[in-house]
Structures are given as structure tokens and as C-alpha cells.
Amino acid sequence: MSNTALIVGASGIVGSATAALLHQEGWQVAGLARHPVRQDGVAPVAGDLQDPASLARALADIAPSHVFLATWQRRPTEAEMIRINRAMIENLLEALRPKGSVRHVALVTGLKHYLGPFEAYGKGRLPQTPFREDQGRLDIENFYYAQEDAVFAAAARDGFTWSVHRPHTIIGKAVGNAMNMGTTLACYATLCRELGRPFVFPGSAVQWNGLTDMTDARLLARQLLWASTEPKAANEAFNVVNGDVFRWSWMWGRIADWFGIEAVPFDGTHRPLEPRMAQDGPAWAEIAARHGLAEPNLEKLASPWHTDADLGRPIEVVTDMSKSRRLGFTAYQPTDDAFFDLFGRLRADRLIP
């Protein structure tokens, strides 16, 4: 039976890595977006997830066997996030319903399932770490839960299987992505080197000293493929991280070495990136002009608010991978190599000097 994929969010960090892997594996791949970008091996589909009529037209000739949901929209309040992001999934799956072609839907969420939404991130009573999939939902509204419920309801109605994937902070390449720590740190390190600034860790003492983990987008793509085709993985939620743990007190120096700068010893002071990079747009544009970079707009590359949220957490966050390991998913990716691979791709694509 042939496999055809519809990726929602195909140009993002997760979607682009998934599209590349599926294309490599011989799948037919379509990417849905309001304004699709050109990608090798991806058929562009222009449609608006908030407009059912637009989706009906866009998907009239599309009959995917597998759907990969790797997009969301940010709004000022969690209530609005819930409304918008649940409706987008409901609209999409309703538009696909008449053909009856969908066999599996994979939803990408994240560790806010355990940590809480942006409005209450890392606050209140949280599950014990390492986070495990059998830990129940927090007693608080969360757009991740609304997304899951939309998939669960459609699966029960239409008879397809599902999987939910909960990565930690994702390392991967995408321009214009709302949550991109790897590229944000690459831009920050570049600004420090080019402007002679100290490369100061922007996070909390807990993050500097405590254990943590991260998720390479390519490894996440491999888990998405595995869970979508492995019968034992059907109708399950999975954490997904690289498989190693580290302390930022070690990683910070590794990143500094890659960029040829010196890591400033952490003195216990929390110095968030967002206010310190707020006025760096003109400096980045000048660096881009001087080095012939492809993107002079710093806001399209860096998301310091998100990096601050992760590096400023007052709790240690590590993730258990036992569930998928027991079912046969054994992929592993050293996190320092994930950063270095990303930095190399950013430089090769003239996004950093």
C-alpha cells in the first residue's frame, strides 16, 4: 500500500525535516500552507487552516494516507490559542474526511504538555522529572490538550490511528520560525564576535547547573515516520529527545568554541536575551551586508523570547524516552553535534558568517 503524506507546517523546523526524510524514503509528499515555499520533493498546497472553504478547494485533489501536524499559531491569551489551534485541526480533518484516505495522523506538541502553557509556564505544581507519558494532564487549560482532543475525536469518528509527539527544545533549520533556539544562539554568538561583546549565558542558575536534554528535528522526523508505520506505536503519545543529557555549564563553552569566541564564566546573574537583542536589528543588517548574508532581518532568524523561556526556567527539565525505546525506536543524536550540524548548515546557506 503506497504512502502519501500531507505535512501541515512543511516549511518549519519539524515539517521541513520530516518532508526531507519522507521524500528520501520514497513517499509522495504535499505541504499545506497559506503561502507555500518551494521545497525539494514537496508538492505545494495553498490553503488556510482557518477557512474551511479554502481547505475544501485546496484539498479537493489530495488524498493522503498520513497527515503530519507540525504547526500552530500564537495568540495573546491561552483561551485564544485554544480556540484557534483546535479549530485549525478540526477544519483540516473535516476537509479530508470525504475521501476516507487517512490512515494515520501524527501531532507534534511538546513539553508544555507537562510544564504548562505560556501563561503559566513552569509555575505551580508540576509533574516529577523526568517527564513520562503516563503523567496526567495539568489541571489548567492548554492548547496542546485542545489539539490532542481534536485529533482523538476525529480518529474515533473516522477510524484512523494517531500518535502524539512531545519534543523538548528543537534544534533545526528554518527561517521565520517562532521558536528556534539553535539559530537564535548562532545569531547571538555572531553578534558577540562581530561587535566584541561578551558571550554571556542568558539563563538561570538552575539551567546552568542542572541536567537537561533537547531534540534534533531530524531525530523527531525519524520518530514521526516510525510511529506512523509501526502498528505497536498506534494510538500512543511519545516523548522524543536526542537520548543524551548535558549541563549548559558544559554546552556553553562548546558553542563558544565553534564560533571562535570565549565563553564568559556564569556569575549567577540572570540576563535574558530579549532585552539585550531588542536593538540589534541594524547591527545584524550591517553584518549581513558586510558578509553577503542571505537574510538581513534579524527578526526572521532569532526568537530570543522563546530561548529566554527555556533557558530561564527555575526547574530542571529532563525527559524519559523509555516508552518508545521499549517499542523499538532506538535512534540517538548527540546534542552538541546537533548544534554543530545546524551551525554548519546556517553558514553554508549564508545565514551566518
Would you please indicate which residues are annotated as catalytic (active-site) residues?
Answer: 112, 144
Q: Report the distance separating Cα 30 and Cα 10, nearest Å.
A: 8
Extended strands (E) in the chain: 4-8, 28-33, 42-46, 66-69, 104-108, 161-167, 170-171, 211-212, 215-216, 236-240, 246-247
C-alpha cell at 236: 500512543
Using N-to-C axis directions, what is the helix angle for 143-158 and 78-96, rounded to 10°? 20
Q: Using the 8-state DSSP alphabet, how is residue 34 labeled?
A: S
Check: CB of residue 16 under 8 Å from CB of residue 174.
yes
Q: Report the distance separating Cα 163 and Cα 195, nearest Å.
A: 46
Q: Report the distance separating Cα 161 and Cα 234, nearest Å.
A: 6
Query: How many beta carbons lie within 10 A of that of residue 150, not counting itself?
Result: 22
Rg (CA), the chain: 20
